[in-house]
Amino acid sequence: MLASAVGMAARSVPYIALKPAGKSFVAHASDHLPLKSTPINPDWIISGNPEARTAEHSRGQDEASLTAIWDCTAGEFRWYFGWDETVMILEGEVHITAEDGTERTLCTGDVAFFAGGTWASWRVDTYVRKVAFLRKPFPKPLAIAYRLRNMLRNGGSQGIAA
């Protein structure tokens, strides 16, 4: 019943009212964004002295998404993903070990997804630079209502949400 009400409300809100109030287009050369030191939690460092830096590129109006450039020098550490994160390696490489033991080396041009609420071990032999697309996961009840809304909006057809 709640999902039905949410679906009805979502269909009744004009799309024009959902238009973002701030910038609708942001573009920068990834190597010209000023990177600021963002130290890795010392408790997460396994070996070496990795030094990380981050530059925020853009943030969604609802504060639920973020795009950033991140780089790191040599070292090994565990990393907690508080948000869903898709990365694309821009330079260098990183050796990843996921919680389930899956191992993969990500090199320039590779794309990977890390689910929010998970850990992975990162080993950087020399240097890595990535673009990160982060999205705050919806709480389960809200995610169900959102999917239902999309299903109703699309006339019951399944597919990727708009």
Strand partners, 53: 37, 71
What the block records as the tokens of 61 is: 């109006």
Read off the DSSP letter of residue 87. E
Tell me: pLDDT of 124 over 50: yes
Helix (H) / strand (E) containing 127:
strand 118-135
Q: Average of pLDDT values for 89-93? A: 98
Of residues 30 and 139, which shows the higher confidence score? 139
Tell me: pLDDT of 72 over 80: yes
> What's the rounded Cα separation, in Å, for the pair 65 and 58?
8
84 CB-near residues (< 8 Å, 6+ apart): 113, 114, 115, 116, 134, 135, 136, 137
Full-model pTM? 0.75
pLDDT, residue 157, reads 60
What the block records as the tokens of 155 is: 């006339």
> What's the rounded Cα separation, in Å, for the pair 126 and 111?
19
Using pLDDT thresholds of 50, 70 and 90, give the confidence band for residue 16: very low
What the block records as the tokens of 115 is: 């689910």
pLDDT (tens digit per residue) in 54-70: 999 999 888 889 999 99
Dihedral sign from CA coordinates of 72, 77, 82, 88: positive
